[in-house]
Amino acid sequence: MKLKFKWIFTLVVALSMQFSFAQERTVTGKVSDKTGVIPGVNVLVKGSKVSTQTDFDGSYSIKAKTGDVLVYSYVGMNNKQVTVGSSNSVNVVLESEAQLMNEVVVVGYGVQKRKEVTGSISKIAGSDISNLVTPSFEGVLAGRATGVQVVTNSGIIGVAPKIRIRGIASISSGTDPLIVVDGMPILSGDIGGSANTNGLADINPDDIESFDILKDGAATAIYGSRAANGVILITTKSGKKGSLKVTYSTTFGVASAAKKYDVLQTPDFLVIANEKRTNRGQAPWAVGSTYNTDWQSAVLRNAPQMTHNLSFSGGSDKTKYYLSLGYTDQEGINLANGMKRYSVRANIDQDVNRWLSVGTNLSVTRTEYTGLNTSASGLSGNIFNTIRQLPNVPIYDAANPTGYNITLPLSTNTVGKWDNTDPVGDNITNIVYALDHNKYYSKVNRTLLNVFANAKITSDLSYKLQVSADNSITGGFQYWNPVHGDGRSRNGYLINDNTEYLRWNWQNILNYKKTFAENHNIGITAVAEYQKQRYQYFFGQGSDIISDFYDKNLVTNSYITKDSGGSITENGIMSYLGRFTYNYKEKYFLQGSIRRDGISKLGTDKRWTNFPGVSAGWTVSKEDFMQPISNTLSDFKLRASYSKVGNTEIGNYPYMDLTAPSPYGPTNGIGYFQFGNPTLQWESSEKIDFGADLGLFNNRLTIGFDYYRNNIDKLILAVPVSPSLGIPFNTTNKNIGKLYNEGYEFAVSFKAINNENFKWDVSSNLTLSKNVVTDLVDGQDIIGGTSGDTNIAPNLILREGQSMNSLYGFRYWGVNKANGNPVYYKADGSLVQGNLPGSTYSVFDPSNPAAAGAAATLVTADKTILGNTLPKYYGSVSSSMKYKNIDFGFMFRFSGGNKIFNSTRRELMNTNFNNNGTEILGRWQSVDNPGDGWTPRLYASSNTSSNLSGSATTRFVEKGDFISLDNISFGYTLPKLLLDKIKVDNFRIFVQAQNIWLISDYKGINPEMETSGVDVNGTPRSKVISVGLNVSL
């Protein structure tokens, strides 16, 4: 009995003890780091909603049970988990999150840790753009880095966005940055064909791991002669050790015009069109209100766009792989425009033994584009034509043999006038027929291949051999229907062409890294690089087609008039470079580089040049005197750099005397084409940068600042010579121009909240920039700026002391309220009015507007600078939030300080028998109804005098300031508990919108729809609403 009692008593005691251990109790403690206690640390009982925060002295108190796991989290620190034991006191020391400073940055021919970088480099994660709907990755880089401006000025798929890194660094030569993919310089820009093609669209955005943008001298000097416009280094994804990981992503969206041109509907059109005529004393020409045709809706559509990506990655101790398949199908918002891309990528790394590894990065892409005529002044140019179409006529006509509303006989080649008394102005065609029947097609087969071997010679010395090739073969086809439109005058037109680029690159890279006496760290890089590029082009064309059946390809004897031609060019570059880096205790940094480049584009005596670069950095926060405030100022680094770089995009052999084939009748021959200059040299840039990086509150708040100045010298300009010399174009190339870019960059990132359930990161950047031309040929203005486009050049000027491509024209005063005539300023400030309907001018007195003034003139000498076309500031604000399994993000982008000549707005004030913009409703009608004071009296066919159609005027010059909601996204990730059950690593669904909101006083479609500061008949940019899915197994 006693024995049984003892066992029962023991069991009760044990159960009581077990019960007591399972009871909640108060756990207290303090949280600190190496510098002291941390207030505001979140303390959470894992798997529950029980949480608290440390107070001002780092102490906390929380209810927990034995066996519970406490999670300690704080922005800028690594999370820590502690299991509750028998003690009621738990003190924790958190360690600083070193992610930012240990982030690897690609610097050209190697990598560095962020904390070692002494140049100005911006890093963008590929994941930031991977889900966005875009034909090419660079279009969505806008706003994501300081000093980097990306402008998409057209809604046409295939038109490449413009990328500017710290301004424009040339007048007559290339201004695009160098693009390097996995160490391989690649082709960019249009790469041939009949439809617009973008060389960067051949890279699947989903394959990109990161972008590193080299901006200042120290960062770009390593690329020497190719770095004047900055460098973008793209790193593609690679495999990591571990089991097979399968990732699938898909996005489906619908694109539409973000905004359409605000044109007249039929009731207002009839009033305006006929007022033009009656003011001229003629009979009305607009008759009939049966139709109210929306031509823009017929040409611009809702366009489905989809993307599918599937990847496989993983690896063992010796082999790592990343394989991907991609498919993109995007219809453009304009009829006849679209793109399909098929991509395959294989990135493989293999360790052969302890000292040797080999690998390859292979990308094979086929990209197909369909396009259209987008000429800003062509009769079948998509927007030029569409905004002129009369709303009171239909698009289709069942009684017409074509089924479209087209004037008979078909040889007239204009859209049908229907009930109107006169044919449409400017002899425009039926744009819908042209878009339905004409064809523009480009097929790009692109291979990017690099193979490499890494040899570890010693523990400190390594050698890398990389051989790469970029081969682009583009087949183009263009067909103009013989019945109506562009091809009517030639009874149809066909052209097939083939464009091939082949660029190979060979690099030998030697790297040495060594630490001496524990604190002295050095690195030496030596490179020998060789590159050659070959361009080859061929075309065959024909007109007077025997039947519109032959609309797929050139077919022998299917056309009468035949022609063919082609061209071929080659150029090469040889480079030798060295880079030395040193740091002491990762506190004081010094870097220097020298690159010697030789290029075949220049003469033997001038083709070799040295490009040096030097930079220094000081991590002030590591000094002993900074330790008392290290808990507040966790990182503080100063940087400075200087370099000299060049520009290789100077054309092919501008130094040589060149001839060209010059047939005369049936006889072949050659003709003088270019007068050479054997003393021609590189365009060169001297870059200076001073920067500072700050991290506050354990890098919870980071701030970056840079001041830069880029002095560009030896710009190649065409210098006029006497026509009596017989030199082609009466010019010769000389190194004579100068300009500079100067600016300030600011970047701020703040981890506002970071706990187990809720994370919120906010970031912003701002760039202030200035561009000034300082030296031109004999100080003379260059009318037309850098443009060769006849729709743009007359409105621009290059002038010493002014920004590049400044707007140039007449100052507009307004409308004479007494008679509706337009009034302009002369150079001396006096006023003259244009006497409608003619082109004569008379003196205008605003105090006595009805008085007939003396005869006057308005001449070129009265033109003046109307504004700079380059933005003075630009940047963005972005936010990323995640609450449990829900994520939400957005980015606003802004820009301003520039002026735009809205030539499209002037086009919409056309006084011919065409449609107009609604602004024309504010026209002057009488002394008692003077309108808006800005729009003159209407007078048919008086564009030259009413709108001064040959010159820019302040009447149509506007501010380019804007704020744009570039993207906003909302996503949901399935809970981990459910993912574990279905054996899926990640499952996220999302919805997003791009380019859906614009805040601007600009009266056009979008202030970014400009080319060199002129907005002329552009296709509206698209907005995209999309849904998507990301799955990882």
- The secondary structure of 944-1010 as a DSSP string is HHHS-TTSEEGGGEEE--EEEEEEEEEEEE--HHHHHHHT-SEEEEEEEEEEEEEE---SSS-TT--
Q: What is the rounded distance in angstroms from the CA atom of residue 569 to the CA atom of residue 565?
A: 14
Burial zone of 574 (CB within 10 Å; 0-12 exposed, 13-18 middle, 19+ buried): middle
Average pLDDT over residues 490-498: 95
Identify the bridge partners of residue 469 per DSSP, sorted by sequence position.
Answer: 449, 504
Average pLDDT over residues 670-683: 85
Q: How does residue 764 score in pLDDT terms, banded at 50, 70 and 90?
A: very high
Q: How does residue 102 score in pLDDT terms, banded at 50, 70 and 90?
A: low
Who contacts 244 (Cβ-Cβ below 8 Å, separation ≥6)? Answer: 312, 313, 314
Q: How does residue 979 score in pLDDT terms, banded at 50, 70 and 90?
A: confident
Closest residue by Cα to residue 963 from 992, 994, 1001, 1004: 1001
Helix (H) or strand (E) holding 706: strand 701-720
Q: How does residue 75 score in pLDDT terms, banded at 50, 70 and 90?
A: low
Average pLDDT over residues 594-620: 92
> Has residue 35 got a pLDDT over 80?
no
* pLDDT computed for residue 150 by the predictor: 92
Task: Cis check for the bond before 723: say yes or no (omega within 30 of 0).
Answer: no
Instruction: Specify whether the CB–CB gap between 182 and 236 falls below 8 A.
Output: yes
* pLDDT computed for residue 76 by the predictor: 61
* pLDDT computed for residue 838 by the predictor: 81
> Which residue did the predictor score with more confidence, 518 or 256?
256
AA letter at 202: D
418-to-155, 408, 455, 858 alpha-carbon distances in Å: 32, 11, 78, 41
Instruction: Specify whether the CB–CB gap between 597 and 584 falls below 8 A.
Output: no
Q: How does residue 97 score in pLDDT terms, banded at 50, 70 and 90?
A: low
* pLDDT computed for residue 5 by the predictor: 43
> Has residue 10 got a pLDDT over 70?
no
Q: What is the rounded distance in angstroms from the CA atom of residue 704 to the CA atom of residue 693?
A: 5
Q: What is the rounded distance in angstroms from the CA atom of residue 155 to the CA atom of residue 255?
A: 10
DSSP collapsed to 3 states, 472-498: EEEEEEEEECCCCCCCHHHCCEEEEEE
Side-chain-side CA neighbours of residue 666 (13 Å)? 0
Instruction: Specify whether the CB–CB gap between 182 and 222 falls below 8 A.
Output: no
629-671 pLDDT per residue, tens: 888 898 999 999 999 998 888 888 888 888 887 777 778 888 8
Encode 642-678: b = buried (16+ Cβ within 10 Å), e = exposed.
bbbbbbbbbeebbbbeeeeeeeeeeeeeeeeebbebe
Q: Is 729 left (phi over 0), alpha (psi -120 to 50) or beta?
A: left
472-483 pLDDT per residue, tens: 999 999 999 999
AA letter at 667: T
Burial zone of 501 (CB within 10 Å; 0-12 exposed, 13-18 middle, 19+ buried): buried
Phi, psi of 981 (to 5 degrees): -70, -40
* pLDDT computed for residue 653 by the predictor: 84
AA letter at 919: E
* pLDDT computed for residue 338 by the predictor: 96
884-to-891, 938, 976, 987 alpha-carbon distances in Å: 21, 63, 11, 14
939-953 pLDDT per residue, tens: 998 888 899 998 999
* pLDDT computed for residue 797 by the predictor: 96
Q: How does residue 990 score in pLDDT terms, banded at 50, 70 and 90?
A: very high
Among 91-95, 245-249, 743-747, the range scoring the smallest mean pLDDT is: 91-95
Among 392-396, 701-705, 753-757, the range scoring the smallest mean pLDDT is: 753-757
Structure tokens at 483: 């019945």
Q: What is the rounded distance in angstroms from the CA atom of residue 648 to the CA atom of residue 77?
A: 46
Closest residue by Cα to residue 101 from 111, 89, 116, 123: 116
> Has residue 14 got a pLDDT over 90?
no
Average pLDDT over residues 907-914: 96
Give, as one character, the DSSP assignment of residue 266: H
> Has residue 374 got a pLDDT over 90?
yes
Q: Is 668 strand, coil or helix?
A: coil
Q: What is the rounded distance in angstroms from the CA atom of residue 730 to the CA atom of residue 146?
A: 42
Structure tokens at 838: 């003619």
Side-chain-side CA neighbours of residue 113 (13 Å)? 11
Average pLDDT over residues 856-870: 96
Closest residue by Cα to residue 856 from 869, 842, 876, 870: 842
Average pLDDT over residues 240-259: 94
Instruction: Specify whether the CB–CB gap between 58 and 30 falls below 8 A.
Output: yes
* pLDDT computed for residue 967 by the predictor: 94
Residue % of the chain over a pLDDT of 90:
71
Average pLDDT over residues 58-66: 89
> Has residue 2 got a pLDDT over 50?
no
Pairing of strands 242-257, 520-545: unpaired
Give, as one character, the DSSP assignment of residue 584: E
Pure H helices in 901-942:
903-907
* pLDDT computed for residue 920 by the predictor: 97
Closest residue by Cα to residue 912 from 464, 535, 388: 388
Helix (H) or strand (E) holding 15: helix 2-21
> Has residue 140 got a pLDDT over 80?
yes
**Composition of the chain by helix, strand, coil, percent to 5:** 15, 50, 40
* pLDDT computed for residue 21 by the predictor: 40
Task: Cis check for the bond before 654: say yes or no (omega within 30 of 0).
Answer: no
Q: What is the rounded distance in angstroms from the CA atom of residue 855 to the CA atom of residue 833?
A: 10
Closest residue by Cα to residue 769 from 169, 228, 178: 169
Identify the bridge partners of residue 613 per DSSP, sorted by sequence position.
Answer: 593, 643
> Has residue 680 got a pLDDT over 60?
yes
Q: Where are the beta strands (DSSP E) in 265-414?
A: 303-315, 319-331, 338-351, 356-371
Tracing tokens 């760039």 back to the chain, one arrives at: 767
Closest residue by Cα to residue 125 from 638, 700, 763, 641: 763
Average pLDDT, the chain: 91
Structure tokens at 882: 């995640």
